[in-house]
Amino acid sequence: GVNPGVTPAKFREGIESDTVGQLIRRVDVAVGDFHYLPAGTVHALGAGVLVAEVQTPSDTTYRVTDWGRGREIHVDQSMQCIHFTPTDDAAPGAAGAAGNRLIDTPFFTVDRLTVAGPDTPVPVSAGRCTALMFVGGAGPISIDYGRGGALEARPGDTVLVPAALADVSVSAAAGCTFLRITLPEQ
């Protein structure tokens, strides 16, 4: 998000003078942190940062700076979308936070789950579209979708479980951590 006190006029001036980076909040991150950035929040990733990004459906990216790469900047479009109210400093799902639920929005829910043992079932809601993003651990992850079908996944993979699959079971090696993203019931 933008720094406190940054107005739309000041932000536009920052875009045009290529100093907009000075107007954007910097947040230190650590492995396992979770940050919710509502649509309209200006954001960028620093060098060496890897994220699992969950977002509302959109195929639009507007750039307010290109950090010297020479790609198109979208001044007018960006200015129409940016929220200039500073965002909360709290990361609701910072590493070590209690509980599995990271966030529940009208658009999606994100839970962080770590498999405790080899026979620990991973809950997947039948009749709801679910994405499983495997973010840590080692060993195979097995998704059995019934009718004799199964697939293997490994950390770094994302698996989409369609709502039409009523009989799905997921098992993984102890210590595997993943994000379970579900869409609201229709």
Instruction: Give CB contacts under 8 A, 24+ apart, made by 70-79.
Output: 73/15, 75/12, 75/15, 75/16, 78/15, 79/8, 79/11, 79/12
Strand-pairing partners, residue 177, are: 114, 136
Angle 51-53-56 from CA coordinates, rounded to 5°: 165
Q: How far, in Å, are 15, 60, 62, 79, 159 from residue 34 at the CA level?
A: 28, 23, 23, 26, 20
Active site residue 69: no
Please say whether the beta carbons of 1 and 57 come within 8 A: no
How far apart, in whole angstroms, are the C-alpha atoms of residue 170 and residue 52?
Answer: 20
- DSSP letter string over 97-127? -SSSEEEE-SS-EEEEEE--STT--B---TT
**The one catalytic residue among 12, 25, 63, 128:** 63
Catalytically active residues are 63
